[in-house]
Amino acid sequence: MVTLHWVYALAGAMFAAFALLGARERPVNAAFWGVLALSMWAGDRLGDLGNGVLVLALVGLGALAGKSRAGSEVSPQERQARADRFGNRLFLIAFVIPATALAGTILFKQAPTWFDGKQATLIALALGVVIALVLGCLWLRAGPLVPVQQGRRLMDGVGWAAILPQMLASLGAVFALAGVGDAVGGLVAQAIPHGSLLGAVIAYGLGMALFTMVMGNAFAAFPVMTAAIGVPLLIRAYHGDPAIICAIGMLAGFCGTLLTPMAANFNLVPAALLDLSDRYGVIRRQVGTALPLLGVNILLIYWLAFP
């Protein structure tokens, strides 16, 4: 059966390849990706102490690692020639990934003996990446090392911020276990008018967005705000649909991601990679989308989640 372990093994192989290819040019960066590969491959066997040591190693190496654009296997002239030749059709390769993820989410659950239905989306997403990689190499007539080398170049440019979502998601779980959600819930409950469903929904949606802005990632905000408002008020007190509340609540959190420099890997790193004169230019462009979308998400929870 294909399980999530296969996805971790694939991700570990990718980071290990980055480490091997960059060992001579950027040894500290290579060590960072090597430790991350070890975490992917053996994290479930190292225990809490072992994984804690790996996290500390990642923090230390991340502080020492530099950001640079590693040497490219493809010359600028060749890249420009390919862009002129294929144009926007190049985006078809990227489209393969979400299309495979969507199809696999539906189909893999129908084959429980072959695939872990609970992790169907992640398995399908990983499969989509592999399919897109193979199709891209065949279509563009590129060698198998070219995408790996280009991936290393990009990851060395992004640096430690590439794993910021995972780190913040872990931090959100720690906050939830520490009772931060209960404390936040007690404060919010005092501000919501008694018996007001709309007030509770607004508090949950705004809370997801605001806490995401503080933490930099919706995955970190989700366990805290769901424990504070989502479960005790919207689900238990008002008998809302948990699937709708949680799914759209995450979308509300993602609206906060668009508005914060704390989401460095989304908002600051692209500005640096593209050499934008305005460091916060990405955020400024996203405000006009994020705020109306947040309002729509709040209304969708209110309209759809409650019978």
Q: Are residues 211 and 143 in the same domain?
A: no
In the listed set 108, 130, 160, which residue is the last one of a domain according to the structure? Answer: 160
Q: Are residues 149 and 192 in the same domain?
A: no
What are the angstrom distances between the C-alpha of 148 and each of 80, 275, 298?
20, 24, 41
Which tens digit of pLDDT belongs to each residue from 245-256? 999 999 999 999
What total of structural domains would you count in the chain?
A: 2
Q: Are residues 152 and 16 in the same domain?
A: yes
Q: Are residues 123 and 206 in the same domain?
A: no
Q: Are residues 132 and 8 in the same domain?
A: yes
What percent of the chain is modeled with pLDDT above 90?
A: 46
Q: Are residues 12 and 119 in the same domain?
A: yes
Token code pair at residue 292: 């109306």
Q: What angle do CA 65, 71, 77 make, to 5 degrees?
A: 145
Q: Quickly state the pLDDT bin for 75 (edges 50, 70, 90).
A: confident
Q: Are residues 154 and 276 in the same domain?
A: no
Q: Are residues 156 and 235 in the same domain?
A: no
> Which residue range forms the structural domain that includes residue 127?
4-160
pTM: 0.74
Q: Is position 172 within any domain?
A: no
Q: Is position 170 within any domain?
A: no
Q: Is position 120 within any domain?
A: yes
What are the angstrom distances between the C-alpha of 117 and each of 60, 111, 121, 174, 230?
37, 8, 8, 27, 26
Q: Are residues 26 and 153 in the same domain?
A: yes
What are the angstrom distances between the C-alpha of 124 and each of 90, 99, 135?
21, 9, 16
Q: Is position 174 within any domain?
A: no
Which tens digit of pLDDT belongs to each residue from 83-113? 788 888 888 999 999 999 999 988 887 877 7
